[in-house]
């Protein structure tokens, strides 16, 4: 039983990270119907931004809660700027082009970010400074939860609630919802759609960066290619929950995290090797798209001709 | 359609014409002037840290040789090419190095997969190739022009099994391997075989892939099997974190590993969670022997960081090659090959290297304990038919050639 | 001259040419002239890439279905044929040689291997295509990517074909085979495109709903095009494996699918000759970039991605757009007046194109 609880905790932990990243995918898709391939790399950029902030500002010396807060916020700001820059220079000029063009551009941006980092920083993994005094709390039996896991839960829940508040209780949020509903009508209503789109990218990127810094507390290994697989799984999470649907992204993230952990933990008993861990996410994606393309919480949108 | 055909014909003819050369003439050989040696590795892809590290070792060795007057009066030049970590490109760049740059020998690759793709080209062109760290047995089986200065998986896997069973008296072992890495899989296979032969039992086997963020799923499963030791034959990037997460899960059993652990980042990532773990290696960066300390100091001075296992092997590969060139007195393929094949008791930083009939390096391994960011010597384990007397190297302290890499 | 005779004559001439080139590319050369092994290798790889690019163009360029899993089908073809040639070819060739002679047996076995590779890849294409092709643009792309990765992971787990280390494969490929199949691929795709099926495919690309409304069975055509495309990719895989004589799943990662995409994007997604041109350029480019001074060549991959983005921003239709190679394209730049919808894809762009409110300016 305690193993089960342990796996549950582990699954929810990585699920929370997927949820944070998935939110970015789902928001951008809701507004632009664009899959931002480069979003996973923003997660990586956030982690590295945090790394450089922590080392440059001298927090690498020892655990410091203040340091953690500063690094987290700093990384989120930097990532938000990067996200907005990408939108402004790579996506905006081609917004009206065919879907394939934007998709290829997105892939191009993703590769550009990854390869620039590898070229400049090397592919070797680095150790993210430990900003949290690590400690394990035993729940019962062998089940334990670590401080970093608690941190991940706490911060993600906080950020998600913050996002909810922004979207439903502020003018900007209402504008975002309007734009995702129908961009042209929103434009006609006097909303500065370009700015709203930028804000969306900024928010999504900030969340992904938070995910990056938080993961780095849990697993300090960061490298320029860490965003690829994680980003893809987060995308699957967004689709699972219903792309364009915000609570769906959270639900999807947690489900993918749990599915993955349980396949790894128990899959062997049913003959599934742990190396199929990544394939789990893809398999789920394919199943969802086959049987319920609108996702768990999404609604089917009729295509008008 | 006609237009397409004609235009394609034009393009093809253009290409073929550009590529044209005379065939069948005698080949030109360079017997004076700089000795050009080719290095190929992953310099820009996912595993570029391995390729870069090895290259740094090679370059440092070449520089030392040149400063000391070169080989037979000739300077050495290293021409390096990037294969992006892809086997197909490895073969392409090796073809280029042999064919266009007329290298006299090749150094590389780190990953057995890439070496296997490229080695046939070297063999076919009769250009000797020394791999610094490819550990898969199949590599030297490609032909008699292919050598290596590292362990092969069968040996290193067995080393740890012996240590676990005989010294640590472990009865139950779990394994956590890097699934995509031939190095990790190779070590696992031979560890398993040797450990069970010594009476032990493998109670759980889990795998991970590079890039996984979370190992707790696998570690939790391992924990429930209550092993005495856990064999983690992977690379430092993941191992450091695995050790940490294992500690968080309250796992007390020591982790065992191979030379893939050897890098400064290991300590950065794993911290004190690594205390009490053991690895098999070919040498220790903390070995007080003067030769090794000089190497470490020189490397530190040149690159502002400590060498890892791959750099040390790259260094030795170049030195072994240089020795062969000196002995052969020429860079002729056949003569050079024969000279390298006769390498015996060569004093490298990664141990005393002797190449056997299969062109694999025969050298003992050391087992080191990790404690407070240092490697503490435990014991030396010799290959079959080799004992303490046959070693000519400085005694007791850490000495063990190891076959790092994959 | 009756058209059949013309065709046969053309085929005869082409085969003769290929034989000549093959001899030219071999070790002894043609009349004392040949190519150095390095250039020879680049040319061979370019030829294989031509097959890959043209086949991908069929499904992505002409039918408008974005597939980024082409490497997966290549892998299927490569590995299934390799399994045959490594474990069975020897014995079969031996028995056959007694009947029809060594060279004929050798060639026949390889032909068989190529067919097997093509058919298994086609089956894989069917498996992947049927569920996925009802998905829209971006999702189809991700799903094809996912399938290619799953294929790769599955192959990685099969030790009989080398697992993680790699699989050494006998060499059968020479330029004759590559050239033959490259020509075959071009002819096949050309004929499809210029047939009724081709028109159906293009109509699907331009506006799938309208095509469906016009009575075209879009699913059937999409799947058919996908299967043919995968089969050709599989055959390219066979040629590839038996040329490099070493198969490793590291050669079939996403980056390869992506390289093929770049080839057709560069050349122009609606153009056959564009795909060929793109394939040749992208094969040669990394080799040229190698000659950059030392440290600069590290930025090769950065250059690639930047190049791609640049193309998308400035000339998304690639070099040739939907035209074929001729000299007319040199005359005017490929810029349509309003709203450059290059290789159009169905999918209502969120921003409706109305000339009055175009705040972005260009187009």
Distance, in angstroms, between A227 CA and closest chain B CA? 9
Q: How far apart are the first and last CA of chain C?
A: 49
Q: How far apart are the first and last CA of chain A?
A: 54
Q: Which two tokens stand for residue A2?
A: 């305690």
The DSSP secondary-structure symbol of C324 reads P
* H or E stretch at A143: strand A143-146
Helix ranges, C133-217 (H) = 137-156, 175-193, 196-206, 208-213
The full length of chain B comes to: 406
pLDDT at C294: 64
Contacts of C230 (CB under 8 A, 6+ apart): C55, C70, C73, C121, C122, C124, C125, C128, C129
Q: Which of C102, C235, C111, C119 is nearest to C172 (CA)?
A: C111
B-facing residues of A in 129-148 (CB < 8 A) are 130, 134, 136, 138, 142, 144, 146
Burial of A297 (C-beta count, 10 Å sphere; 0-12/13-18/19+): middle
Query: What are the backbone angles phi and psi of residue A100, rounded to the nearest 5°?
Result: -60, -40
For residue A2, CA distances in Å to A268, B16, B216, B220, C196 come to: 18, 69, 14, 10, 64
Query: How does the average pLDDT of chain B come out, rounded?
Result: 85
Task: Check CB contact of B99 with chain C, cutoff 8 Å.
Answer: yes
Please indicate whether, in this complex, the C-beta atoms of A118 and B237 are within 8 angstroms of each other.
Answer: no
- What would the mean pLDDT of B57-63 be, rounded to a whole number? 94
- What would the mean pLDDT of A13-18 be, rounded to a whole number? 92
Nearest to B268 among A118, A122, A127 (CB): A127
- E-strand ranges in B30-75 read 35-41
Confidence of residue B49 (pLDDT cuts 50, 70, 90): confident
Confidence of residue C331 (pLDDT cuts 50, 70, 90): very low
Compare all CA atoms of chain C with the CA of A291 and give the residue at the minimum distance.
C131
Please indicate whether, in this complex, the C-beta atoms of B82 and C28 are within 8 angstroms of each other.
Answer: no
Q: Strand B105-107 vs strand B76-82: parallel, antiparallel, or unpaired?
A: unpaired
The residue ranking higher by pLDDT, A294 or A105, is: A105
3-state SS assignment for residue B119: helix
Nearest to C166 among B1, B116, B185 (CB): B116
- Domain with A101 in it: 2-291
Of A249-258, B178-187, B316-325, where does mean pLDDT reach its minimum? B178-187
Q: Give partners of C (≥3 CB pairs < 8 A).
A: A, B
Distance, in angstroms, between C253 CA and closest chain A CA? 13
Torsion on CA atoms C208, C212, C216, C220, rounded to nearest 10: 70
- E-strand ranges in B44-194 read 76-82, 105-107, 129-131, 146-148, 172-178
B311 pLDDT higher than 50: yes
The DSSP secondary-structure symbol of B175 reads E
Confidence of residue B5 (pLDDT cuts 50, 70, 90): confident
Whether ipTM > 0.90 holds is no
pLDDT at B388: 65
pLDDT tens-place string over residues B99-150 = 988 999 999 899 888 999 999 999 999 999 999 999 888 899 999 999 999 9
Asked if A180 and A21 count as a contact pair (C-beta separation under 8 A), the reply is no
CA dist A221 and A243 (Å) reads 30
pLDDT at A17: 93
> pTM for the complete prediction?
0.86
C333 pLDDT higher than 60: no
C326 pLDDT higher than 80: no
Of A252-261, B13-22, C2-11, C277-286, where does mean pLDDT reach its minimum? B13-22
pLDDT at A126: 86
- What would the mean pLDDT of B83-105 be, rounded to a whole number? 92
C147 pLDDT higher than 70: yes
Torsion on CA atoms B18, B19, B21, B27, rounded to nearest 10: 140
B-facing residues of A in 202-221 (CB < 8 A) are 215, 218-221
- What would the mean pLDDT of A112-134 be, rounded to a whole number? 85
Confidence of residue A119 (pLDDT cuts 50, 70, 90): confident
CA dist B380 and B368 (Å) reads 9
Of B179-193, B234-248, B251-265, B386-400, where does mean pLDDT reach its minimum? B386-400
Q: How many C-beta atoms lie closer than 10 Å to residue C341's C-beta?
A: 18
Nearest to C248 among B18, B95, B117 (CB): B117
Count of domains for chain A: 1
Torsion on CA atoms B299, B300, B303, B304, rounded to nearest 10: 170
Task: Check CB contact of B395 with chain C, cutoff 8 Å.
Answer: no
C-facing residues of B in 46-85 (CB < 8 A) are 81-82, 84-85
Confidence of residue B284 (pLDDT cuts 50, 70, 90): confident
- What would the mean pLDDT of A109-137 be, rounded to a whole number? 85
Compare all CA atoms of chain B with the CA of A117 and give the residue at the minimum distance.
B44
pLDDT tens-place string over residues B348-367 = 888 888 898 889 988 888 89
pLDDT at C344: 40
- What would the mean pLDDT of B271-287 be, rounded to a whole number? 87
Asked if A26 and A246 count as a contact pair (C-beta separation under 8 A), the reply is yes
Using the structure block, give the residue that is written with the tokens 């044209």.
B20
Domain with CATH 3.40.50.2300 in chain B: 35-151+299-363, 153-281
- CATH number, domain at A87? 1.10.3470
pLDDT at A300: 61
pLDDT tens-place string over residues C60-91 = 989 888 899 999 999 999 999 999 999 988 88
| SS3 track for C60-82 | HHHCCCCCCCHHHHHHHHHHHHH
pLDDT at C315: 82
**Cα four-point dihedral sign C183, C185, C188, C191:** negative
Confidence of residue C342 (pLDDT cuts 50, 70, 90): very low
Percent of chain B with pLDDT over 70: 91
- What would the mean pLDDT of A163-189 be, rounded to a whole number? 89
CA dist B295 and A47 (Å) reads 34
Please indicate whether, in this complex, the C-beta atoms of B7 and C156 are within 8 angstroms of each other.
Answer: no
CATH class of segment(s) B35-151+299-363: alpha beta
pLDDT tens-place string over residues C90-129 = 888 888 877 887 888 888 889 999 999 999 999 999 998 8
C138 pLDDT higher than 80: no
C-alpha C58, offset from chain centre: 9
pLDDT at B233: 94
Task: Check CB contact of C190 with chain B, cutoff 8 Å.
Answer: yes
Please indicate whether, in this complex, the C-beta atoms of C146 and A282 are within 8 angstroms of each other.
Answer: yes
B280 pLDDT higher than 60: yes
Task: Check CB contact of A172 with chain C, cutoff 8 Å.
Answer: no
pLDDT at B288: 80
Domain-located, residue A297? no
Domain-located, residue A168? yes
CA dist B11 and B17 (Å) reads 10
pLDDT tens-place string over residues A200-227 = 999 999 999 999 999 988 888 898 988 8
Q: Which of C260, C349, C352, C360 to mutate to test the interface with A (most CBs of A within 10 A)?
A: C349
The full length of chain A comes to: 305
Confidence of residue B28 (pLDDT cuts 50, 70, 90): low
Domain-located, residue A305? no
CA atoms within 13 A on the CB side of B211: 21
pLDDT tens-place string over residues A231-276 = 988 998 998 988 888 889 999 999 999 988 888 777 766 666 666 7
Burial of A141 (C-beta count, 10 Å sphere; 0-12/13-18/19+): exposed
pLDDT tens-place string over residues B219-259 = 888 888 899 999 999 988 899 999 988 988 889 999 999 98
Please indicate whether, in this complex, the C-beta atoms of A293 and C135 are within 8 angstroms of each other.
Answer: yes
CATH class of segment(s) B153-281: alpha beta
The residue ranking higher by pLDDT, C139 or B24, is: C139
Please indicate whether, in this complex, the C-beta atoms of C301 and A100 are within 8 angstroms of each other.
Answer: no
C154 pLDDT higher than 50: yes
C361 pLDDT higher than 60: no
Domain-located, residue A296? no
C350 pLDDT higher than 50: no
Of B10-19, B151-160, C221-230, where does mean pLDDT reach its minimum? B10-19
């Amino acid at each position: 039983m305690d193993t089960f609880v342990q796996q549950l905790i582990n699954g929810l932990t990585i699920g929370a990270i997927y949820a944070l990243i998935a939110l970015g995918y789902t928001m951008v898709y809701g507004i632009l119907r664009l899959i931002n391939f480069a979003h996973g790399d923003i997660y990586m950029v956030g982690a590295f931004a945090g790394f450089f902030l922590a080392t440059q500002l001298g927090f690498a010396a020892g655990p410091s809660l203040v340091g953690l807060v500063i690094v987290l916020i700093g990384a989120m700001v930097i990532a938000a700027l990067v996200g907005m820059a990408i939108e402004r220079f790579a996506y905006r000029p081609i917004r009206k082009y065919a879907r394939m063009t934007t998709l290829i551009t997105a892939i191009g941006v993703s590769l550009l970010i990854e390869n620039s980092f590898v070229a400049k920083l090397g592919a070797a993994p680095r150790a993210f400074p430990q900003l949290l005094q690590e400690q394990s709390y035993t729940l019962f039996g062998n089940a334990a939860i670590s401080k970093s896991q608690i941190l991940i839960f706490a911060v993600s829940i906080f950020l998600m609630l913050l996002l909810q508040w922004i979207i439903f209780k502020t003018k900007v949020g209402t504008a975002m919802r309007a734009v995702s509903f129908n961009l042209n009508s929103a434009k006609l209503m006097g909303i500065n759609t370009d700015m709203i789109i930028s804000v969306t990218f900024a928010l999504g990127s900030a969340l992904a960066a938070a995910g990056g810094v938080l993961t780095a507390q849990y697993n300090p290994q960061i490298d320029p290619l860490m965003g690829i697989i994680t980003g893809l799984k987060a995308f699957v999470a967004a689709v699972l929950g219903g792309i364009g649907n915000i609570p769906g992204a959270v639900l999807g993230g947690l489900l993918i995290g749990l599915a993955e952990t349980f396949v790894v933990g128990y899959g062997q008993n049913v003959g599934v090797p742990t190396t199929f861990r990544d394939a789990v996410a893809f398999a789920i994606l394919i199943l969802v798209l086959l049987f319920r393309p609108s996702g768990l919480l999404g609604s089917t949108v009729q295509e008008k001709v | 359609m006609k237009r397409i055909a004609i235009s394609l014909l034009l393009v093809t003819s253009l290409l073929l014409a550009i590529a044209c050369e005379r065939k069948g003439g005698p080949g030109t050989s360079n017997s004076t002037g700089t000795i050009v040696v080719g290095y190929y590795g992953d310099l820009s892809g996912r595993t570029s840290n391995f390729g870069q590290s090895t290259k740094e070792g090679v370059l440092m060795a070449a520089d030392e040789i040149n400063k000391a007057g070169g080989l037979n009066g000739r300077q050495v030049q290293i021409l390096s090419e990037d294969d992006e970590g892809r086997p197909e490109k490895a073969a392409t760049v090796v073809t280029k190095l042999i064919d266009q740059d007329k290298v006299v020998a090749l150094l590389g690759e780190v990953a057995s997969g890439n070496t296997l793709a490229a080695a046939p080209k070297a063999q076919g062109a009769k250009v000797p190739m020394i791999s610094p760290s490819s550990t898969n047995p199949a590599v030297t089986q490609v032909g008699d022009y292919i050598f290596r200065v590292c362990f092969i998986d069968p040996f290193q896997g067995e080393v740890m099994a012996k240590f676990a069973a005989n010294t640590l008296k472990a009865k139950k072992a779990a394994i956590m391997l890097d699934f995509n890495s031939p190095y990790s899989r190779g070590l696992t296979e031979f560890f398993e075989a040797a450990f069970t032969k010594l009476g032990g039992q493998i109670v759980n086997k889990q795998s991970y892939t590079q890039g996984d963020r979370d190992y707790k799923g696998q570690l939790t499963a391992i924990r429930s099997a209550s092993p005495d030791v856990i064999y983690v034959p992977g690379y430092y990037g993941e191992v450091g974190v695995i050790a940490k997460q294992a500690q968080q899960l309250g796992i007390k059993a020591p982790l065992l590993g191979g030379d893939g652990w050897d890098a400064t980042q290991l300590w950065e990532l794993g911290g004190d969670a690594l205390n009490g773990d053991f690895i098999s290696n070919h040498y220790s960066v903390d070995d007080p022997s003067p030769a090794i300390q000089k190497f470490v100091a020189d490397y530190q001075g040149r690159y502002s960081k400590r060498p890892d296992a791959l750099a040390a092997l790259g260094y030795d590969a170049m030195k072994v090659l240089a020795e062969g060139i000196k002995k052969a007195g020429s860079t002729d393929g056949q003569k050079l090959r024969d000279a390298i094949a006769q390498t015996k008791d060569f004093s490298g930083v990664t141990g005393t290297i002797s190449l056997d009939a299969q062109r694999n390096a025969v050298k003992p391994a050391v087992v080191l304990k990790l404690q407070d960011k240092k490697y503490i010597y435990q014991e030396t384990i010799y290959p079959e038919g080799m004992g303490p007397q046959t070693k000519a190297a400085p005694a007791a302290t850490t000495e063990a050639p190891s076959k790092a890499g994959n | 001259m009756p058209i059949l005779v013309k065709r046969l004559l053309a085929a005869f001439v082409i085969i003769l040419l290929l034989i000549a080139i093959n001899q030219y590319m071999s070790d002894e050369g043609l009349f004392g002239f040949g190519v150095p092994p390095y250039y020879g290798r680049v040319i061979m790889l370019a030829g294989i890439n031509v097959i890959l690019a043209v086949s991908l163009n069929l499904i992505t360029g002409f039918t408008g279905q974005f597939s980024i899993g082409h490497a997966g089908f290549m892998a299927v073809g490569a590995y299934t044929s390799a399994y045959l040639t490594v474990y069975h070819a020897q014995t079969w060739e031996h028995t056959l040689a007694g009947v029809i002679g060594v060279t004929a047996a050798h060639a026949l076995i390889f032909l068989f291997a190529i067919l097997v590779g093509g058919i298994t890849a086609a089956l894989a294409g069917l498996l992947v295509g049927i569920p996925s092709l009802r998905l829209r643009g971006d999702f189809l792309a991700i799903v094809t990517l996912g399938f290619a990765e799953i294929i790769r992971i599955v192959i990685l787990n099969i030790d009989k074909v080398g697992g993680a280390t790699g699989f050494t494969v006998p060499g059968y490929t020479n330029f004759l085979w590559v050239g033959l199949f490259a020509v075959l691929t071009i002819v096949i795709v050309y004929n499809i495109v210029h047939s009724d099926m081709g028109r159906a495919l293009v109509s699907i690309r331009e506006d799938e709903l309208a095509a469906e409304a016009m009575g075209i069975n879009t699913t059937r055509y999409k799947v058919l095009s996908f299967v043919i495309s995968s089969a050709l990719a599989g055959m390219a895989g066979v040629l590839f494996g038996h040329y490099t004589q070493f198969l490793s799943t590291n050669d079939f990662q996403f980056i390869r699918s992506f390289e093929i995409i770049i080839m057709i994007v560069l050349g122009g997604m609606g153009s056959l000759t564009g795909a060929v041109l793109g394939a040749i350029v992208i094969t040669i480019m990394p080799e040229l970039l190698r000659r950059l001074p030392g440290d600069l060549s590290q930025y090769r991959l950065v250059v690639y991605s930047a190049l791609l983005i640049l193309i998308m921003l400035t000339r998304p239709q690639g070099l040739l757009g939907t035209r074929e190679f001729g000299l007319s394209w040199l005359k005017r730049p490929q810029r349509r007046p309003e709203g450059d919808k290059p290789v159009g894809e169905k999918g209502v762009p969120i921003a409706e194109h109305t000339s009055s409110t175009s705040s972005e300016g260009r187009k």
